[in-house]
Structure formats: structure tokens, C-alpha cells
Amino acid sequence: MAEAFASKVDTGSRPENPSKPRNSARFSIRYQPGFTSIAVFCFVMLYLPMVIVVIYAFNEATSVSTWGGFSLKWFVSAYHNDEVIDATLRSFQIAIIAALLSTIAATMAALATTRTEAYPGLTFTYAAINQPLMVPEIVTGVALLIFFSRIKILTGYDGLAYLIAAHTAFCVPFAYLPIRARLEGMDLTLERAAADLYATPWRTFRRVTLPLLWPGILAGFMLAFVTSLDDVVITEFVKSGGQDTLPTYMLGQLRRGVTPEINALSTVFLLLSIGIVTLFFFISRKKD
């Protein structure tokens, strides 16, 4: 009889619908009415315009609204456009240097804020490093325009160094976040063992910390690279004449009218960004 009673109690304690969570009182956004419809709507509104741009990049006709057949001529046209080539090379030059400098600065900042005892002002340090993420980009662009204009007047120099410095400062927090996250998730046992074996702080960093931190550094570098490569607002304010990057060149062409060549450039940019972000995901994800 006791076994029968236990069987009834056990049967009664099971949920009627096994597909639902065991604790029906716990809030879950997935089971809210309309969640699926809203999610699908958001994804359609976000990605449908990109799909249309990619499709019309292969359009034979010169119109972006009339399909004239499949063709690769707009990719060939962009490839043979000297202005596009110059802007592309300049974009990559600025992005690579800015990503490298910002990643070095972000690595040092992450070490200084995670491998030290808490001190007064640490929260302010976090806020200062992440300031470009919190301030509207146009405000940063105007501030850099005023600051660099005075330097240009005093020195007479108006080369790419201003763009590189502006992109470096803006990309630091983007590189800092994955590097800091990697440092906070690392086990300190190996670093403490190295210190117990009389290793100097530099030797401990070079032999222990850096190899473990390397995936975070690569992820930070790629994130900073994509951010610099895609930037328009700060570049538009800081650049001098003849210093168009590919995004600012495309913006200038759009003011004259959209052509399938712009669609082709947008498609290449989209594929490049997707590839880098995908690589960033595989590098930065936590392994079992």
C-alpha cells in the first residue's frame, strides 16, 4: 500500500506537458505570447534589406529597382575603379594599424584592471576606458575635429596619422572587452605557481598569461579591425582632402545616386564582416 501511495504521489508530481519547464511559475521569455512572431519580424526587417542589396549586386541592368538578368559586371567595374582600389587600400591600412595599436593598449589596460587589487577610482577607470561606447559617436567626431584642427594649424601636417589616432582611440574599448573577459575567466593557479617558482612578473606574463590570453587578444584585434573598417562618422569628421576610406567613398557616391556598383561594394563589405565576425565567434567562445 505504501508503494502504491508513493507511485500516486510520484505520478502526480510529474508535469502534464513534458515540453514545458518543470517549474511553470518561473518566467521564460520563450513562452510569452507573440515572442516568436516578434522575433521573426525583427529578423526579417533587419536582414531583408541586406538580402535585396546582395541580389541586386548581381543585376545586369543599371537600375537598382529593375532586374535585368544575372551578371558579375558590377564587381568587375568596382575592381577596375582606381578610386575604389585607393579607398580600399587606405581603409585596410588604417584599420590594421589602428586595430594593432588599440589591441596593445587594451591588453595593457585589461591587465592593469584585472591583475591588481581593487583601489579607489577603479570604477572610474572602467568608465574612462569604455567612454567611446557611451558617448554618441558624432560627439567624439566633433571633439576630434576641433582638437586635430588646432594641431594641423600648428604643425602643418595633415596626413593619415590623425585618422589612425582617432580610430585607435575609438577602437580601444572594443578590443578591451573580450580581452578583459578572457582574463577574468582564466584560472590564476598557473600564474601563482610561476610566482612561487620565483618567476618575474614579465616572465610569468610571457610564459603563462600571454599563451592563455592569446585567443582573447585575437578576438579583440578582429573586433577592433571590423569597427575601424566600417567607421563612417569619425572618419568623415577627421579626414582631410583625398583621404576617403571605402565607407566614406560609398557615402559620397550614394549622394549622387545609387548604382549596382555600390551594391557590389556593399556585398563585399558584408561578406568580409560576416567572415571576420564568424572567426571572432569561434576564437572567443568558451571551450569545454
Residue whose entry in the numeric block shows the C-alpha cell 586635430: 148
Confidence of residue 254 (pLDDT cuts 50, 70, 90): confident
pLDDT, tens only, 122-155: 788 888 888 888 888 889 889 999 999 999 888 8
Is position 62 within any domain? no
Spatial distance between the Cα atoms of 214 and 244, rounded to a whole number of angstroms: 33
33 in a structural domain: no
Residues near 170 by beta carbon (within 8 Å), at least 6 away in sequence: 132, 137, 140, 227, 228, 231, 234
For residue 94, what is its C-alpha cell?
A: 588604417
- pTM attached to this predicted model: 0.77
Q: How many domains does the chain have?
A: 1
Cell of 164: 589612425
Q: Is residue 256 part of a domain?
A: yes
Residue 267: inside a domain, yes or no? yes
- The range of the structural domain enclosing residue 270 comes to 74-284
Phi/psi of residue 239, nearest 5 degrees: -65, 150
Cα gap 281→288, rounded to integer Å: 15
| Residue 242 belongs to a domain | yes
Q: What is the CATH number of the domain that holds 132?
A: 1.10.3720.10
Residue 48 falls within a domain, yes or no?
A: no
Residue 91 included in any domain: yes
Gap between the Cα atoms of 28 and 26, Å rounded:
6
Report phi then psi at 15, rounded to 5: -70, 145
Q: Is the pLDDT of residue 165 over 90?
A: yes
CB 129 within 8 A of CB 171: no
Q: Is residue 47 part of a domain?
A: no
Q: 82-130: per-residue pLDDT in tens?
A: 888 898 899 999 999 999 999 999 999 998 888 777 778 778 888 888 8
Report yes or no: 54 and 64 within 8 Å, Cβ to Cβ.
no
